[in-house]
Structure 1
Amino acid sequence: MLKAIAIDDERMALEVIKSHASKVSFITLEAAFSDGIQGLEYHSNNPVDLIFLDINMPDISGIDLMAMLPEATMVIFTTAYSEFAVKGFELNALDYLLKPFSLSRFLQACQKARDWKALQPSGEPEYIFVKTTDSQQRINFGELLYCEAAGNYVSLQLKNEKLISRMTFKELEKLLPSYFIRTHRSFMVNKNKINKIERHQVQIDEHFIPVSISYADFI
């Protein structure tokens, strides 16, 4: 899912973007702004993946605003002026939508954003070293099925073995990538390894891990 905002000084243009975005399953339009500075401030406090950005705005142009964005932010320019197209692509905008644009053209631009995002490294770690009884052992996250809390210890269930390490669950949680999710106050699972989801438990291979009511919405 891509998180997005729209910045355009024309109310009608924002309504069109809202309408189109609501029909694209992998886009969540978090907010829409008619003021470029407000949109920039929102993005600073609530970073999004993608910005639909008008170029010709009264207080600050979309081109100037794009120069203030973090490099990783994807931008799709939206404007009624085709002469800005070359400048937009010089700034590495992902796409350029010439108003009025159709839903199909909007979807094409969104698919380009999704494909570009998929090519970028996640920035998440691939492994950690944990202290066992007599050594520091490397654990590749792709091989870790689930974790269970046991006081000041945690057990880490791999495909073919279980390791015990002295650390708190909170300490471990900070080290794990985002695809490890809580199912219970004492269990975290690798959601990429889940084979089956039932009302009160999930199954990973031959293991059954409990799901409490408090965490059911996150599965």
Structure 2
Amino acid sequence: MKLTAIAIDDEPVALAVIKNHAAMVPYLEVKGYFTNAFEAMDFLSKEKVDLIFLDIKMPDISGLDFISSMPEPPMVVFTTAYSEHAVKSFELDAIDYLLKPFSLIRFIKACNKVHNLWLLKQKPVPAKDVPDYIFVKSGYEQFKVILDEILYLESAGNYVNFVLKDRKLLSRLSMQEAMDALPGGLFTRVHRSFIVSNNKIERADRNALYITEMPIPIGAAYAEAVEELLLRR
């Protein structure tokens, strides 16, 4: 089964670029290319797709208004020559934002983001298979730690501090070993020295995430993972 999409852009040349790039993505099936947004709207009323490649600047209706008008929109990747719309596009939960002219590599990167999210939706992890606790060795003892009590993990030399709601546990682990011990999808490494519990993030800015008002720095190498995490929230 392939990821299905349509592309909407009032410029035929821009659609041709998407068509050429899409032909290079094996898991992607583009079911239609539209220069008229209302024709695309009519198509979507009859057939569902997983993704829309959507131009923002169009003559009759903007891409932002188009997606806002849909009660249950599919995933969207905005395409535009105007960078000033980036913030608004992410407010609408866009998966990515392609600034024209974009390369094949940049297009594939956006498709990969969408595909990863699509695969998660196709194969949700059954709740019974997700443990709600782990055992953490601290000193000579093993402590049962409920996952929901973990706020974040912080590197401390050759140790990792598990920061919980009401206590801390220091364990002799590397950050990678700690990450491997945690169930996938619930925690994200956001810095070489920090792993956060995804659902404990209260707010974020360009440089940090905040958990109980504690600023957790975002490392440059992990910025893309943080961006994807915030888009999923």
Inter-partner Cα distance in structure 2 for 1:122 and 1:60? 35
Judge conservation of contact 2:86–2:97 (CA < 8 Å) in 1: yes
Equivalences for residues 1-219 of structure 1 within 5 A: 1-71=2-72, 73-120=74-121
Aligned residue for 1:24, secondary structure, equals coil
1:83 maps to amino acid: E
Q: CA deviation at 1:44?
A: 1.4
Inter-partner Cα distance in structure 1 for 2:88 and 2:73? 19
1:103 maps to amino acid: L
* Moved >3 Å (runs of 4+): none
Inter-partner Cα distance in structure 2 for 1:108 and 1:70? 27
Aligned residue for 1:120, secondary structure, equals helix
Deviations 1:12-31 (A, max 9, x none): 00000000001100001111
Q: How many residues align?
A: 123
Q: CA deviation at 1:71?
A: 2.9
1:25 maps to amino acid: P
Inter-partner Cα distance in structure 1 for 2:106 and 2:123? 28
Q: CA deviation at 1:102?
A: 0.3
Larger Rg computed on CA atoms: 1
Deviates more, 1:39-48 or 1:99-108: 39-48
Deviations 1:146-200 (A, max 9, x none): xxxxxxxxxxxxxxxxxxxxxxxxxxxxxxxxxxxxxxxxxxxxxxxxxxxxxxx
Instruction: Please report the RMSD computed on the Cα atoms of aligned residues, expressed in angstroms.
Output: 1.4
Q: What TM-score comes out, normalization by structure 1 length?
A: 0.54
Inter-partner Cα distance in structure 2 for 1:39 and 1:102? 25
Inter-partner Cα distance in structure 2 for 1:7 and 1:83? 20
Q: CA deviation at 1:68?
A: 2.2
Q: CA deviation at 1:69?
A: 2.5
Residues 1:117 and 1:70: Cα distance change in structure 2 (over 3 Å)? farther
Deviates more, 1:97-106 or 1:40-49: 40-49
Inter-partner Cα distance in structure 2 for 1:26 and 1:44? 24
Inter-partner Cα distance in structure 1 for 2:103 and 2:71? 29
Q: CA deviation at 1:10?
A: 0.6
Judge conservation of contact 2:67–2:73 (CA < 8 Å) in 1: no
Aligned twin of 1:136: none
Aligned residue for 1:108, secondary structure, equals helix
2:79 maps to amino acid: T
Structure 1 residue runs of 5 or longer lacking an equivalent are: 124-219
1:89 maps to amino acid: F
Aligned twin of 1:134: none
Residues 1:121 and 1:21: Cα distance change in structure 2 (over 3 Å)? closer
Deviates more, 1:30-39 or 1:68-77: 68-77
Residues 1:121 and 1:19: Cα distance change in structure 2 (over 3 Å)? closer
Aligned residue for 2:110, secondary structure, equals helix
1:20 maps to amino acid: H
1:114 maps to amino acid: H
% of aligned pairs identical? Answer: 54
Aligned residue for 2:98, secondary structure, equals strand
Inter-partner Cα distance in structure 2 for 1:72 and 1:116? 15
Deviations 1:38-72 (A, max 9, x none): 11110111111000000000000000000123435
Residues 1:103 and 1:115: Cα distance change in structure 2 (over 3 Å)? same
Q: CA deviation at 1:84?
A: 0.5
